[in-house]
Structures are given as structure tokens and as C-alpha cells.
Chains A and B, each alone.
Chain A
């Protein structure tokens, strides 16, 4: 049974100015549950970082209440909070000359004594999270020599070593390559499931978030915060409205965004199977709507059972092509 570990009521966030507060977002009402991966989506300037910083107690809320594990956030001391919330922040750190295991060991600080010495138990926890996150091969490396993706994993491991039921991550997938993004989101998903952690993160990677996150929060400037499973948000049209702009379309059938091509030409495409689909995709990218139900002077045949591709020109010529790129080269000029 999942539990609501974080409850947010009528929350206003922003910065206290000298004369009047600068409100970034207000009237936020939502809950975050354990065992689930909750993802915060929103454009730059929507207040994603401000929200995460407020929930992490780095910023005081302008109004409203945040309940963490049934207790108001403001009643926690720094020390208590260190064992409840772990954070992974955005941006590069300027840490130098410190090894991966040393850094992860610092995650044990809330539990270590005056000198910060790691006891046997702390060391075994550090070893465990290193294995869990899969960074055993780099554990003796210096942090500043790591790739951005590896460094992000190390910071996640630090948060895990902190042994907090809640982990907040501010754009954990920023600045890293695509496979590493997927790897990190998978890792977060696994942690939420296997360790029943409450994981809340912000990201700009819509596509990945919609596929991996259990709950999506949509944050927009001057609008109410929307939350729900990606599927529910797709069905009620929220996702379609949320990211409506030229060149991007929300595909309700996959529940994902895709690049929306504007077609200016049509092509009769015959065939079946994967080759047909790929040819269609390649043509779509070139603003050509290709299908078996449109008529055109040029006809292209792409079929899994045939070798290569065939182009029928208006002059009844038959051209053979080995690759899709050859087909494109041949027809893009004539169409």
C-alpha cells in the first residue's frame, strides 16, 4: 500500500525581496507517494528549481504548508532533515581531488560522530550503494575526472548513502548523453520500486519522463499545477495542451510527444513491414507524406520481402536502390 509521504497545501514559493516577495508560483496543492517515481515537468522559469529548493528546506515557503512524513517541514531541525531528505542538485560541482568513495562516504555524515570517521557499518553501506548504482569500477577515481553521467550517479549514490526515505533531484539528466539519461532514470525507477523510496525529480526530458515516471507534475507560469499518471494526463488532454507549439505534436496513441512534420508533398509508397515504416519515416522527415493510399507520379516500393528499394519514375523507368539514402537522393530532386 503506497503512502503519501509529502503533502503540499496551498503552497506559495518564491524569494523574499527587500520590499515585497517575488512570487514564482502559488496555490500548489499536491501529494507525493513512496514507492513511486514522481517527475516535475515545466519550461525554464516555471519554478521547478524553486519548488525543489523549497521542498528541500533551502528556501522558506512564502505561504502554505509542507508536510513531510506527517510532520511540518519547518518543525524539522537541520540534523533531523538530513536523515529524511537527500538531495541531488543540478549544475557542475567544483569538487577536486576527492575520490568517489570518499564523496559517497560524506553522505554518511548525519550518522557519523564528531570526527566524521566511517565505522564498519558506514563503510559497508557505502560499498552497498556503490554496487547498487553500478559504479564499482570507478570508486577509487577522482570525482573531477568523471564524465557528467558518472558524476550524477555518484551524487545519487551519496544521497542513497544518506539513507533517507525521500530523495529530491533537480534535473538529474541535464548535461548528460542520451543512454546515460535513460540509465539514470531506470536507476531512479528501480530505487523507488525496490527500496520504496519517495523520489521526486525535475527534468527537461519530456519524452523519457513520460515513459518512466509514475506520476507527472506539470508546472506552468501563472497556471495551476496539474498532476497525475502520464496516461491520465494524456487522456484528459492536459499533456496535449501543456506543450503545444509549432513542430511538436502530442501523439495520444503512444502518449508521447513527437516532432510534428508539416507536409508539402505526397508520394505513393507501396510495400509492407519494417522497410516500409522506415521509408515512410525518412520521407516524413523531408516533408513528404508517403502512403499507399495517395496517388503520385513517382512510386516507391519498400518491402521486407524484396531486396533493396525500387523507384518507378513517371517515364516508366525502374530504378533500384540499395539504401534509403539512395532513394532520397534520387527522388528529392525530382519531386
Chain B
């Protein structure tokens, strides 16, 4: 755990000190501590307006997605559950698609030209989209018994959302489709200025709140019947966990776009490292590991040579996919040996 915290610190530093524009170590240090005399204005801008917000965003977004994935995997008792699987990310995408694509076709203005107002509209679209899909899932979860059924319904909702997005794209202005596709690539860089403060403070409230579910999650591990026998109100517990997880994804997706794989892969990584299913350990571990991994991905995406052009999603998938495949193989082996 200490190692994880340490690696976050190191990665955070690397994120601040490394970039496509090389700035001497001393200068970065000075700028960070507000000693701006004699440092170039361009460098100041790069550090304070680009690298710091980006690193902070990556950190909290990674932590949020990891926690959300862990909660989903426990509540659905399915190692492949994750924010993107349940259709919540698709909900956010649908919201954004509606805002971005419809504004062009109906309002006659390409949103991409609207600047700040457009940004807010996109964020709101993502949040509203994600939360309404989540509300739908929570509603279904009260009615459906099996977790697998619920999971399948979530996946189906995701498909429907993607299909609607497809239709919208077809009828949209090329410029808007491009704006939407870029949003869909996901990035920690889009959040800038005041929005970072807002994003980070929202997450600073939500992340500790999600830790309140540790006991509930541990009981859910035992299965519904055992959990109920130990006094847990299953329906309420399920709703709380899905809501918590859904809100986290909604907020992160609204600000950074759909970031895939982190939410799915990080909990598996933590289980493998700490060899435990106890959420008392897994929750903070996933939070730290999520933050660390997101910082790492961000760092790789900005490696000299890529010039900031590499989409974060490609990097997360490149790291995430091998992990998921490994887990699948391991699971298959165990099933055979049992």
C-alpha cells in the first residue's frame, strides 16, 4: 500500500516534469512553488495550465473509475463487470451525442464553435445521460432477481445507446461528428482551469463517500442469502452500490470522455497484488492503483514522439487488455482444475 502511494507520488512528479516541451527540473520546481521570477511565461503556462491540471485530472479520474469497477464487480459477482459494461458510459456518450450532434442539425450551430458554453453543454449532457441510464438500471435492479439478468439488461441498454448514437451520427454535420469522435477518444487534457478545481473537488467528496460501503461490499461477497442472513438489506445495498458506482463513472466520463479498461482492470490487478477480496484493503488499493495507472497512461500518451497526440483510451486499452485476457485464462484454468 505504501509502495502504491509512493508510486503515485513518483508518477505525479514524472507527469509534471516530463512532456513534449522539455523544461529544466529547476524551473518546473520553481514554477510549482510560485517562484515565477525569471521563468518564461510560456513555461509557466505549460506547467500550471496544462501539466498540473492534467495530472490531477488523471489521478482522480483513475481512482474514481477503479473504485467504480470494483463496486460493480462485487455487486454483480462478475469479474467482467465494469462501468463500461453496464451501459453507464454509453449513457454518457448518448447524452453527449445528443448535445453535440443535435445542436448542429436542429439548432443550426455547430457546437464545436460555441466554445465555453459548448463545453458546459457537453458536460451536462454526459452527466444527464449517464445518470438517466443509471436510474434505469437501479429501477430494473429492484425488479429483477438475478444479477446476471441485470448485467445482460445493462449490456443491452448499452447497445441501444450505441445504436441511437449511430443514427444521430448519420444525420449530423461532419464537423459535429468529428467533435463527438474526439470526445469519445477520452482525454485527461480537456479539463482545464476552473473546471479542474470543480472536478477535483467533486471527486474529493465522492471518493471518500464510496469508502462508506466497505462493510456492505464485504457482506455482498458472501452471496445474497448469506448477506441477508447477516442483516443486510440486499435491495437497498445493491441500489446504493450501483448508484455510488454510477455517479462516479458519470462524473468522470463527463469530464474526460469514456475512459475504458481502467475500471475493469485495476480491481483485478489489486486482487492479484494483495491476494484478498476484503474491501477494507481492496477499496483504498484500487483507488491508489487506479490513480497510479491513470498517471502512467497519461505519461505514456504524452511521451516525446507522440506529441500529445496519442489518445488515452488507446493506452489504457493496451495496458488493460492484457490484464483482462490474463484473468480470463486464469479463470478458465481454475474451472478446468476444479
B222 A116 Cβ-Cβ under 8 A: no
**A152 part of interface (Cβ distance < 8 Å):** no
Whether a CB of chain A sits under 8 angstroms from the CB of B215 is yes
A316 at the binding interface (Cβ < 8 Å) = no
Decide yes or no whether B232 CB sits under 8 A from chain A. yes
B276 within 8 A of A: yes
Given the complex of chains A and B, what is the CA–CA distance between A56 and B226 in angstroms?
10
B280 to chain A, nearest CB (A): 8
Of the candidates A82, A95, A97, which one forms a contact with B230 in the assembled complex, judged by CB atoms under 8 Å apart? A82
Is B193's CB within 8 Å of the partner chain A? Answer: no
Residue in A58, A82, A98, A158 whose beta carbon sits within 8 Å of that of B221 in the complex: A98
Of the residues B77, B215, B223, B277, contact of A109 by C-beta under 8 Å: B215
B residues less than 8 Å from A58 (CB atoms): 225, 228
Contact (A116, B218) CB under 8 Å given A58-B228, A89-B225:
yes
In the complex, residue of chain A having the shortest beta-carbon distance to the beta carbon of B221: A95
A158 vs B230: C-alpha distance when bound (angstroms): 10
Q: Is B271 an interface residue (CB 8 A)?
A: yes
B231 at the interface (CB under 8 A from A): yes
A106 touches B231 (CB 8 A): no
A81 within 8 A of B: yes
Identify the closest chain A residue to B236 (Cβ). Answer: A78
A3-19 residues at the B interface, CB under 8 angstroms:
none
Is B40 an interface residue when CB atoms closer than 8 A count as contact?
Answer: no
A98 touches B215 (CB 8 A): no
Contact B229 A82 (CB under 8 A): yes
Tell me whether A97 and B275 are in contact (CB under 8 A): yes
Any B CB within 8 A of the CB of A112 = yes
| B278 contacts across to A, CB distance below 8 A | 98, 102
* Chain A positions within 8 Å of B221 at CB level: 95, 98, 106
| B214 touches A (CB below 8 Å) | yes
B52 contacts A by Cβ under 8 Å: no
List which A80-116 residues lie within 8 A (CB) of chain B.
81-83, 85-87, 89, 93-98, 102-103, 106-107, 109-110, 112, 114-116
Name the interface residues of B198-239: CB closer than 8 Å to any CB of A. Answer: 212, 214-215, 218-219, 221-223, 225-226, 228-233
User: Which residues in window 252-287 of B have CB below 8 A to A?
Assistant: 271, 275-278, 280
Give the CA-CA distance A81 to B233 in the complex, in Å: 12
B225 contacts A95, CB within 8 Å? no
Chain B, residue nearest A162 (CB): B230
Q: Does A79 contact B (CB under 8 A)?
A: yes
CB-nearest residue of chain A relative to B223?
A: A93
| Nearest chain B CB to A93 CB, angstrom units | 6
- When distances are taken between beta carbons in the complex, the residues of chain B under 8 Å from A85 are 229
Beyond A97-B271, A98-B221, A109-B215, is A86–B277 a contact (Cβ under 8 Å)? no
- Taken together as a complex, chains A and B put the C-alpha atoms of A158 and B275 apart, in Å, by 21
In the complex the two chains form, what is the Cα distance from A106 to B215 in whole Å? 9
Beta-carbon contact of B233 and A116 below 8 Å: no
Number of A-B contacts (CB under 8 A): 71
List the B residue with the shortest CB-CB distance to A91: B223
Q: Which residue of B lies closest to A143 (CB)?
A: B277
Give 1 or 0 for each of A225-261: 1 = CB within 8 Å of chain B CB: 0000000000000000000000000000000000000
In the complex formed, the residue of B with least CB distance to A79 is B231
Give the residues in chain A near B271, CB-CB below 8 Å.
97
A82 touches B231 (CB 8 A): yes
Give chain A nearest CB distance to B326 CB in angstroms: 15
Cα A107 to Cα B276 in complex, Å, equals: 18
User: Do the beta carbons of B275 and A78 come within 8 Å of each other?
Assistant: no
Which of B219, B226, B232, B275 meets A89, CB within 8 Å? B226
Are A78 and B231 neighbours in the complex by a CB distance under 8 Å?
yes
Say how far A80's CB is from chain B's closest CB, in angstroms: 8
Given the interface contacts A89-B225, A94-B77, A106-B222, does A115 sit within 8 Å of B233 by beta carbon? no
A contact residues around B280 at 8 Å (CB) = 115-116
Which chain A residues lie closer than 8 Å to B233 at the CB level? 78
Q: Do the beta carbons of B229 and A98 come within 8 Å of each other?
A: no
Chain B nearest Cβ from A17, distance in angstroms: 13
A109 touches B219 (CB 8 A): yes
Which residues from A are CB-within-8-Å of B226?
A: 87, 89, 93, 158
Q: How far is the CB of B147 from chain A (nearest CB, A)?
A: 12
CB contact between B222 and one of A83, A93, A96, A115 (< 8 Å): that residue: A93
CA distance A82 to B230 in the complex (A): 5
CA distance A102 to B29 in the complex (A): 46
Q: Is the CB of A106 within 8 A of B223?
A: no
- Nearest-neighbour CB distance to chain A for B198, whole angstroms, equals 29
- Least CB distance, A126 to chain B, in whole angstroms: 14
Can you show 12 pairs from A to B with CB atoms below 8 A apart? A53-B225, A58-B225, A78-B232, A79-B231, A87-B226, A93-B223, A97-B277, A106-B218, A106-B221, A115-B214, A116-B218, A116-B280
Top 3 A-B residue pairs of the complex, sorted by shortest distance between their CB atoms: A82-B231, A116-B215, A97-B277
Given contacts A98-B276, A102-B278, 5 further A-B contacts (CB under 8 A): A85-B229, A95-B222, A97-B275, A114-B212, A116-B280
